[in-house]
Amino acid sequence: MKKILVPFDFSSYSLAALKTAQKISSKSEAEIICVTIIPSEVDWDLLSDDAKKGHSDLIDEYEEAKEVLPEYIQVIAPTKAPIRQIIRIGVPNELILRVIQEENVDLVVLGAYGKGYLEGNFIGSTLQKVLRKATCPVLAVKEALDGNDFRKVAFASDFSPKAKLAFDKIKPFIKLFKSSVHLLYVNIPAHFKATSEIISGMNAFIKGNEELTFHQHEFNDSEIEKGMIAFAAVQHIKWIILVTGDHSHAPTYQIGTTETLLFKSDLGVLSLKY
C-alpha cells in the first residue's frame, strides 16, 4: 500500500477518517493525501483564468483553506509523517473520484458523514457516490479505528469465487495488522442455506490463504444487516469487510448493505468491489 486518500472537510467524521489513515500509514508507511474540496457546481478546472476572477468568493475560500489547513491538521492530528494536501474547487464526489484516478490511490478512508450532515440525509451524499464509483477499496468510518481494532475483522460474504478474488485486494492490509479474519455468513429465511453448503464455501475461500488466521461463523437473523451488526457486537469487532458488485449506475434511492450498515451502526465498513 503506497497511497491513502482522506477527504477532509473539517467535520468530526473526517477527523476520525484522518486518524484512522494515520494508524494505517504508521504500519504501512503509505503516503497520506488529504483532499479538501471547496463545494461548487462550477467545474473550476475547465474555467479560464479570466472566468475564475469572476468567482472571488471561491478564490477567497481556496486561499483561506490553503493557509489554515496545514497548521490545523498538525494541531488536531499531529504526526511525524508528512501529509500531502490537495485543495480543489467543484463538486465534492466528482473531484474525490478524479483525485483517486490521478493519484492511483490504493485506499480511501472517508468519514461516514460530511460537514453539514443532517440526520437521515444519506441518499445522494458524497459518501454514497464515492462508495459506488471508487475504483479502489473504500473504508468508511464514524469513529477512528486504532491498531487494536484492526487486529480483528469480520468478512461478511456469500463466499463465491468472486469474493475470494476481491479479498486478494485487501490481503496485504490483513497481513500488515496480522488480523484474525472472522468469516461470516448471515443466514436469513429469505435466502436460507444449509450449514454444509456454507462450510464448503468457506473452506474453498480459505484454500490458498492458509497463512492467515480464519474463524468460521454462521449467524442466523431475520435480516442480513441486522445479523452483521449483532454478530460484530457479540464478537467485539469494530470493522467489517463487504464485497459488492458494480453499483455505479444504480439509482441513489436504492440503498445497499454497505450504506445500511453505516446508517444503522458505528461499525467501520471496508467496501471491496469484484
User: Taking 90 as the threshold, does the pLDDT of residue 244 lie above it?
Assistant: no
User: Taking 80 as the threshold, does the pLDDT of residue 148 lie above it?
Assistant: yes
Mean pLDDT over 226-240 rounds to: 97
Contacts for 72 with CB less than 8 Å, ≥ 6 apart: 10
Distance, CA of 152 to CA of 263 (rounded, Å): 22
Mean pLDDT over 42-59 rounds to: 90
Pick the CATH number of 147-273 from 2.30.30.30, 3.40.50.300, 2.30.40.10, 3.40.50.620: 3.40.50.620
Same fold, 3-141 and 147-273: yes
Q: What is the pLDDT of residue 78?
A: 85
User: Taking 80 as the threshold, does the pLDDT of residue 96 lie above it?
Assistant: yes
CATH level 3 topology of 3-141: Rossmann fold (3.40.50)
Q: What is the pLDDT of residue 250?
A: 52
Q: Indicate the domain borders of the chain.
A: 3-141, 147-273
Split at pLDDT 50, 70, 90, the class of 80 is: confident
User: Taking 50 as the threshold, does the pLDDT of residue 116 lie above it?
Assistant: no
Q: What is the pTM of this model?
A: 0.91
The alpha carbon of residue 233 and the mean position of all alpha carbons in its chain are separated, in whole angstroms, by 20
- When the pLDDT of each residue in the chain is averaged and rounded to a whole number, the result is 89
